[in-house]
Amino acid sequence: MGVKMNRETGRDIYVEDEVFAAVYEVADTATRDAMDLMYLTGQRPQDVLKFDERHLSAAGDLEFQQGKTKIKLRIAVVGELARVIERIHQRKRAYKVVSTALIVDERGRSMTLDTLQRRFRHARRAAGVADDAFQMRDLRAKAGTDKTDTTGDIRQAQKQLGHTSVTMTEHYVRNRRGTKVKPTK
């Protein structure tokens, strides 16, 4: 038996669209690219920084392995995700230094997690958003919550996030906005 101490609870922040937009508006281009990819793919910041042009398959998928869980995922590059990746490609063509990483700085070089976090923190503060009100990692939960809300199927969010159980996805979704229910009548 162990002694029950101060048990940690996960974050229960849901990033509202207005807060996302406020930070996005003042962020630099590379940070915007990262925010878009984190939200649209539902992946962790460190995994998004590892996204590489070589992960884009001929079939039109973004294929990668998550760093934390080693889960392999294929995300269809369609809709808004396709537009973001095309925007990144167009911007990268102007750089002398060519990196195959999707997230690159103004010189075309890949970025570290520390650099991205510093840039994000700068944008968040410039937007007047409190540090604890929006962290980069919250975009993964926002993606899962929004996916569940738009599809009405938590299993779709589970697949996108790479969770092995619906229970884990429920923690992401329910704790952020609460369980969505209909009235009695």
pLDDT band of 171, cuts 50, 70, 90? confident
Answer whether 141's CB lies under 8 Å from 132's CB. Answer: no
Ordered by start, the domain boundaries in the chain are 17-135
Secondary structure class of 101 (helix, strand, coil): strand
Q: Would the pLDDT of 39 be above 80? A: yes
Secondary structure class of 10 (helix, strand, coil): coil
Answer whether 119's CB lies under 8 Å from 126's CB. Answer: no
**CA 32 to centroid of chain Cα atoms:** 11
- For residue 154, give the H/E element and its range: helix 154-161
CA dihedral sign, ordered 156, 157, 162, 163: negative
Condensed to tens digits (0 to 9), the pLDDT of residues 102-154 reads 999 999 999 999 999 999 999 999 999 999 999 999 999 999 999 998 888 99
d(CA 61, CA 170): 26
pLDDT band of 174, cuts 50, 70, 90? low
d(CA 110, CA 52): 10
- Give me the pLDDT at residue 8, please: 55
What CATH number does the domain located at 17-135 have? 1.10.443.10
What is residue 162's DSSP assignment?
T
Lowest mean pLDDT across 8-22, 57-71, 103-117, 165-179: 165-179
- For residue 121, give the H/E element and its range: helix 113-126
* Burial tier of 71 (Cβ tally within 10 Å: 0-12, 13-18, 19+): middle
Condensed to tens digits (0 to 9), the pLDDT of residues 80-97 reads 999 999 999 999 999 887
Number of alpha carbons in the 13 Å side-chain half-sphere of residue 176? 24
Q: Would the pLDDT of 172 be above 60? A: yes
* Burial tier of 127 (Cβ tally within 10 Å: 0-12, 13-18, 19+): middle
Q: Would the pLDDT of 4 be above 80? A: no
